[in-house]
Amino acid sequence: MIFDVENIRNDFPILSRNVNGKPLIYFDNAATSQTPQQVIDVIVDYYSNYNSNIHRGVHTLSQEATDKYEGARQIIQKHFNALHSHEIIFTSGTTHSINLVANGFAGLLTKSDTVLVSALEHHSNIVPWQMLCEKTKATLKVIPMTQEGALDMDAYDNLLLLNPKLVFVNHISNALGTINPIEEMIQKAHKVGAAILIDGAQACPHIKPDVQALDVDFYVTSGHKMCGPTGVGMLYAKEAWLHKLPPYQGGGEMISEVTFEETTYAGLPHKFEAGTPNICGGIAFGAAIDYMNSIGFDAIASYEHELLEYATGKMNAISGMKIYGPKENKTSVISFNIEGVHAYDLGTIIDKLGIAIRTGQHCAQPIMDFFGISGTARASFSFYNTKQEIDVFVEGVKRATMMLR
């Protein structure tokens, strides 16, 4: 089956606009993906036709909104192959999901416990665990990385001898594109009795995780990385863990009964969904997953790998080019510097050519410190990007380099 990228691009209105008088080339997909018209239409339909609060009303609009929202939960359950729909908790995004779990473990850890976090993490998968350890006096240990931008698995094995209670690692590094061996890491964590949380924010736009096959305890992601809106994400957790963890927030919806003497909590998933949720966001998240599945994740992965190989070859021909991260086993992210050129200056100049990339530390300062650099430029590709765009980008980088040296 031919991958018809031009037909796919027609689904994304923003890709037809100009920036600074040039056709937009959007290579900042690791920060947030663009949204197809099919998902935009779902958002408009919600606010135009059945905008209402959910779970609480007997009137028609409330029932329609509730059905759509819970239908989206089932779409997400099926996509990630969770055993139960109530194992899917709607959140505002990956950061919220991680903090929910960290808060829950505050009463389960002691000063004699150890938790492990990888050196490849986004700040969102570092800071909450530091805060947890400050509260509980537990010890935070770091799984080190190698010069190739991969995790040191021998060091991981040695750290597991400490019998940690929790392990945290991203599925794919946002800064380097490294695909971590999470299957192996999950199995090894469970052998020593540790629970493990996988940050899937960067993986879910490219691959289709099966949480049952992985046997993962917690898996988190954001809708805006997957062609959905901002402000919505999900926490998958095994049912047993959701029963063990206390609620993250108190308020409406997450309760069963309330008196001034005592409150009892609602069942799953509502125990963790206090207050009025991002109803439209949840519905649109489900629509975005349906859209991506209509294209097919195998087709997406194959095409994006083709883009990565093509861009890597073109960029390696640029004088002074340094690409960070592994050469193999990575997703469609190229994090780079050019000798004598500051990444920020490069990004600013090529923006004038209509090219959007990310520059800086990418919320991954420990990675930059490891390499002894202040930051990188990062080009990240999605299934709606093209080789022709890569050609324009590479020429733009060359032009900027000549101006800045």
Report pLDDT digits (tens) over 257-312.
888 888 888 888 999 998 999 999 999 999 999 999 999 999 999 999 999 999 99
Q: CA-to-CA distance for 219 and 76, rounded, in angstroms? A: 12
* Residue 1 predicted with pLDDT over 70: no
Query: Is residue 363 annotated as part of the catalytic site, yes or no?
Result: yes
Q: Concatenate the DSSP letters of all residues of 327-361 into one string.
A: SSSB-SEEEEEETTB-HHHHHHHHHTTTEE-EEE-
Segment (H or E) for 107: none
Given a cut of 90, is residue 383 above it in pLDDT? yes
Mind listing the domains of the chain with CATH numbers? 5-28+297-404 (3.90.1150.10), 52-294 (3.40.640.10)
pTM assigned to the model: 0.96
pLDDT digits (tens, 9 = 90+) for 334-359: 999 999 999 999 999 999 999 999 99
CB 336 within 8 A of CB 380: no
Question: Span 248-263, mean pLDDT?
Answer: 82
Q: What is the mean pLDDT of the chain?
A: 96
**For residue range 120-145, what is the model confidence (pLDDT) as tens digits?**
999 999 999 999 999 999 999 999 99
DSSP string of 204-238, one letter each residue:
TTT----HHHHT-SEEEEEGGGTTS-SS-EEEEE-
The confidence band for 190, taking pLDDT boundaries of 50, 70 and 90, is very high
pLDDT value of residue 251: 82
Mean pLDDT of 231-237: 98
- The predicted pLDDT at position 266 comes to 81
Give pLDDT, residue 265. 80
* β-sheet with 321-324: strand ranges across: 321-324, 333-338, 376-380, 358-360
Q: Residues 133, 204, 227, 363: which is the catalytic one?
A: 363
